[in-house]
Amino acid sequence: MLSRYAAILDLARPYLDTRSNDVHTSIAFRLALQLLSYYPEADESVVAPAVILHDVGWKMIPEEEQLTAFGPNMSNADLRRQHEKEGARIAGDILNQLNYDPKKAEEIMAIIDGHDSRETPLSLNDKLVKDADKLWRFTREGVEIDHRRFGIAREVYLVWLEKQIDAWMNTPEAKRIARQQLGLRSSLALAQNRPPHL
Query: What pLDDT digit, counting tens, does each position of 13-33 carry?
Result: 999 988 788 899 999 999 999
Give the residue among 112, 123, 164 at the shortest CA–CA distance from 39: 123
Q: What is the mean pLDDT of residues 81-86?
A: 89
pLDDT at 2: 63
From residue 36, give the alpha-carbon distance in Å to each of 47, 99, 107, 162, 182: 8, 24, 17, 23, 21
Residue 54 lies in a domain: yes
How many structural domains comprise the chain?
1
Global pTM?
A: 0.87
* pLDDT score, position 137: 93
* Residue 1 confidence (pLDDT): 60
Give residue-wise pLDDT tens across range 139-168. Answer: 999 999 888 888 889 888 898 899 999 999
pLDDT at 58: 86
Q: Among 54-58, 91-95, 101-105, whose mean pLDDT is lowest? A: 54-58
- 82 or 42: which carries more pLDDT confidence? 42
In a domain, 189, yes or no: yes
Mean pLDDT, residues 93-120 taken together: 95
Averaged pLDDT of the chain: 87
Residue 183 lies in a domain: yes
Average pLDDT over residues 86-90: 96
- Residue % of the chain over a pLDDT of 90: 62
Question: Is 153 within a domain?
Answer: yes
Longest dimension (CA), the chain: 66
Q: What is the CATH number of the domain that holds 57?
A: 1.10.3210.10
What per-residue confidence (pLDDT) applies to 190? 44
**pLDDT for the residue numbered 173:** 97
Tell me if 198 is assigned to some domain. Answer: no
pLDDT of residue 121: 95
**Residue 105: band (very low, low, confident or very high) from pLDDT cuts 50, 70, 90:** very high
Structural domain harbouring 47: 2-193
Residue 71 lies in a domain: yes
